[in-house]
Amino acid sequence: MKNTISFFKELIHEFQKDDVPLLAAAQAYYYLLSAVPLMILLLSIIPYLNIQPETAIGVLQSIMPDETATVFEETVVDVVSTERGGLLTLGIIGTIWTASLAVNAFIQAQNNAYNVKETRPFLKQRLLSIVLTICLVFALVLVLALPIFGDVIITFVSAYVYLPSETEQLLRILRWVVSIIVIGFILTVLYHFAPNKHKPFRFAIPGAAFATLSWQLVSFGFSFYVSNFGNFTATYGSLGGVIILMLWFFVTGVLLVVGGEINAILYRRKKGQSRFVHDENKNRYH
């Protein structure tokens, strides 16, 4: 019990010392900057799947609050209706470039968590951020595709292969499980390689597990609140959707940074390098 209380005290201390809200705000800005090219990338793929614009809009509304979905509605109709290979290429390049800026901010936050400076060469760091960005984009596409387009995929497969109703139901459940496992694994990779600190892979798992589960819960709760209680449109007009999206990105950034702080604290405690624990022990004996 004492160790648990001490851990949370140290987490609060690191939260304040590393100025987590500021680091999360930096990530939120770059997430917002990369939202449009990411949306273009995702929607450019949809025409090749023969999905109707109304279906795509319904999907958008199912994963976003109504005010936020309205911001992208016209873009959805325009992009989904026409196959544009050039736009797909632009979406890929734009997403990787802008999202890599967010990953750079994430790397800086992880270095702060481990109290280390960035000493890796610029090209190596940039290549690392691009590789991690590609992994993150792949995870996002898969996480969105499995829960949202799972029924479409199952229907397509069942048209050629007989699937018992029990199997279809199992697949519908597994698509959510697989999406959570995938995002958890990708976050573990990010937490392992992002900081300029050599450590075993297992030390990245606790923070990734926290970030994955808490992000799922917070996103669901935030969407429920905004859809049912937060009338942002009445207050901010058409800017309400952008404000909601920015708040969601900020909360996401906070959770990601806190996940890194958790990993760093556990690593220091395992190595006996936690000054916070030493200070508490001194106070206990004096």
pLDDT at 169: 75
The SS3 assignment for 161 reads coil
The pTM assigned to this predicted structure is 0.73
Tokens 């792949």 identify what position? 138
Residue 89 three-state SS: helix
Query: Are the CB atoms for 150 and 171 separated by under 8 Å?
Result: yes
pLDDT tens digits for 198-223? 888 999 999 999 999 998 888 777 76
Q: What digits encode the pLDDT tens for the residues 73-131?
A: 666 666 556 555 555 566 567 667 777 888 888 999 999 999 999 898 888 888 888 88
Cα torsion at 37, 80, 218, 194 (round to 10°)?
-30
Q: Give CA torsion, residues 228, 234, 236, 241, to 10 deg.
A: 40
Q: Is 120 helix (H, G, I), strand (E, B) or coil?
A: coil
Instruction: State the Cα angle at 156 between 153 and 161, rounded to 5°.
Output: 115
* Alpha helices, H only, the chain: 2-17, 20-45, 53-63, 66-81, 85-113, 122-158, 165-193, 205-228, 232-236, 240-271, 275-285
- What is the pLDDT, as a whole number, of residue 12? 93
Asked if residue 100 lies in contact with residue 130, where contact means CB atoms within 8 angstroms, the answer is: yes
Torsion of CA 58, 62, 63, 67, to 10 degrees: 80
Q: Which residues of the chain have pLDDT under 50?
A: 278, 281-286
- Determine the Cα angle at 114 with ends 108 and 116, to 5°: 65
What pLDDT, on the 0 to 100 scale, is given for residue 284?
Answer: 44
Residue ranges per structural domain of the chain: 2-279
Quick one: CA torsion of 139, 145, 151, 153, rounded to 10 degrees? -90
Rounded CA separation 35/83 (Å): 20
The reported pLDDT for the residue numbered 260 is 94
Residues 6+ apart with CB under 8 A from 116: 195, 196, 197
Q: What is the Cα–Cα distance from 240 to 228, expressed in whole angstroms?
A: 14
